[in-house]
Structure 1
Amino acid sequence: MNKQVHVQDLGLKDYKETWDFQETLFQKTVDLKIKNRREDSEHETPNHFLFVEHPHVYTLGKSGDMSNLLVDEQQLAEKQAKFYKINRGGDITYHGPGQIVGYPILDLNNFFTDIHKYLRLLEEMVILTLSEYGLKAERSKGETGVWLDVGTPFARKICAMGVRASRWVTMHGFALNVNTDLGYFDLMIPCGIKDKAVTSLNVELGQKEVDVTKVKRKLLNHFEVLFEAEIMKEKTSA
């Protein structure tokens, strides 16, 4: 099993360009798995982890409800935001500057073949990272992602998640609000959940800005331990 994970930080990059790049990496891995099976060979499949920051964009998952986007095309344009229907699970999500988006493109045959466990470990990675900032983050029953003050009237989401998997290869991932403009969440019903708020790390810490590079480093450290992975950092971007 190949547990090396190649990490790339793509910086600020258009959502559609990044989606296309994800699809390319994803398809190469799936194709190699098919070839291995057809030829009874054992070529190692690669694992990737992309960090990226997107310009303002709303994405709607396969099971999403279009009515959860509360603005029309003209209003989106006025907010300099884009909108895409995509092939991950979950409902509507916002991505924008100040948010850490992570896309692990892993062959789970290299780790474990359990999507439920995969999602729980991604959540745990975020929970452990936030604990380093003194925040008690948790899971909310029946709601994928990471939350604060679960079970109280003040429950609020700090990290959204939505993944796709085929032949045990994953794509899409998580979006952690760090220095995010939370006003953009007012233009939608986040993840289709009407009665809970959204927050970000800088708001919770009472800081104008949190060092995003340090947060990424902490996330990777926990990812490496939880997935028993070997992180291989790459300087090149897509």
Structure 2
Amino acid sequence: MKNKDVIFQDWGLMDYQLAWDKQEAIFAETVDLKTQNRNNGTEIAVPNHLIFVEHPHVYTLGKSGKPENLLLDELGLKQKNATYHKINRGGDITYHGPGQLVGYPILDLDNFFTDIHLYLRTLEEAIILTLADYGISSGRYTGFTGVWLDADNQKARKICALGVRCSRWVTMHGFAFNVNTDLNYFKNIIPCGIDDKDVTSMERELGFKLDMEEVKSKLGQHIASLFEMKLR
């Protein structure tokens, strides 16, 4: 029986390493329970989680990333009050910071659908629908993950990055959605390894700071609807 109940948590502003450790623990527990079910022939419901969080200034490098895409040395990181982590998600380098809504869905895709590309496209669609709620037209850029504005012309700019890991159809990591993000921090990296495209935020596009709680609420509703999940 598929379990579409999802435990929602908002961790607020949390240190990246602490959030990483908490996420890894939930992920490991979920994978372990799936393994026990398979080995013992049991059908204990495997829980799903959706976590929203903001991080202090941090740069993260995915498995396929190139360290040279970080344009700061240790002193430069210190001056920017930022940290740097190499992690086990897909994708290249990205930035997280205050005003950016980071989402970590830890889902057993056996409860939804076992298609990682559809999973990524569904997360993108939730962001696209949320932006549309604010009158911002966005979409996908052929050959790239994430959500983009003006993807069909030279003004293409990314507003949401995606990078996920999946093991035994359990997901971790997720998306980084620029709401009120300080975009100057992106100048210290080649974002996602793409050196000729701009990065933007909802604040930059609309000209005012957004109510983060309102954006979280709208995005959570869209994710729940698209995945046909019950958030609790």
The answer to whether the superposition gives a TM-score over 0.5 is: yes
Corresponding residue of 1:134: 135
The aligned amino acid for 1:95 is H
Uncovered stretches (5+) of structure 2, i.e. residues with no partner: none
> What is the CA–CA distance in structure 2 between the aligned matches of 1:25 and 1:193, rounded to whole Å?
32
RMSD: 0.5
Deviations along 1:74-101, one digit per CA (max 9) or x if unpaired, are: 1001100000000000000100000000
Question: How does 1:88-237 map onto structure 2 within 5 Å?
Answer: 88-207=89-208, 209-232=209-232
> What is the CA–CA distance in structure 2 between the aligned matches of 1:6 and 1:142, rounded to whole Å?
33
> What is the CA–CA distance in structure 2 between the aligned matches of 1:76 and 1:216, rounded to whole Å?
29
Corresponding residue of 1:11: 12
Q: Does 1:43 align with 2:44?
A: yes
> What is the CA–CA distance in structure 1 between the aligned matches of 2:221 and 2:32, rounded to whole Å?
30
The aligned amino acid for 1:98 is G
> What is the CA–CA distance in structure 2 between the aligned matches of 1:75 and 1:203, rounded to whole Å?
25
Corresponding residue of 1:71: 72
> What is the CA–CA distance in structure 2 between the aligned matches of 1:77 and 1:220, rounded to whole Å?
34
The aligned amino acid for 1:90 is G
> What is the CA–CA distance in structure 1 between the aligned matches of 2:26 and 2:170, rounded to whole Å?
10
> What is the CA–CA distance in structure 2 between the aligned matches of 1:123 and 1:25, rounded to whole Å?
23
Q: Secondary structure at the match of 1:44?
A: coil
Deviations along 1:32-86, one digit per CA (max 9) or x if unpaired, are: 0110011001000000000000000000000001110011011001100000000
TM-score, normalised relative to structure 1: 0.96
Uncovered stretches (5+) of structure 1, i.e. residues with no partner: 233-238
Question: How does 1:42-61 map onto structure 2 within 5 Å?
Answer: 42-61=43-62
> What is the CA–CA distance in structure 1 between the aligned matches of 2:11 and 2:171, rounded to whole Å?
18
Q: CA deviation at 1:216?
A: 0.5
Q: Secondary structure at the match of 2:146?
A: strand
> What is the CA–CA distance in structure 2 between the aligned matches of 1:224 and 1:57, rounded to whole Å?
28
Q: CA deviation at 1:153?
A: 1.1
Q: CA deviation at 1:151?
A: 2.0
> What is the CA–CA distance in structure 2 between the aligned matches of 1:46 and 1:40, rounded to whole Å?
17
Corresponding residue of 1:62: 63
Deviations along 1:124-146, one digit per CA (max 9) or x if unpaired, are: 00000000111111010111000
What's the % identity of the aligned pairs? Answer: 63
TM-score, normalised relative to structure 2: 0.99
> What is the CA–CA distance in structure 2 between the aligned matches of 1:2 and 1:80, rounded to whole Å?
42
Q: CA deviation at 1:189?
A: 0.3
Q: Secondary structure at the match of 1:143?
A: coil
Q: Secondary structure at the match of 2:160?
A: strand
Q: CA deviation at 1:11?
A: 0.4
> What is the CA–CA distance in structure 2 between the aligned matches of 1:164 and 1:142, rounded to whole Å?
19
The aligned amino acid for 2:171 is T
The aligned amino acid for 2:201 is S
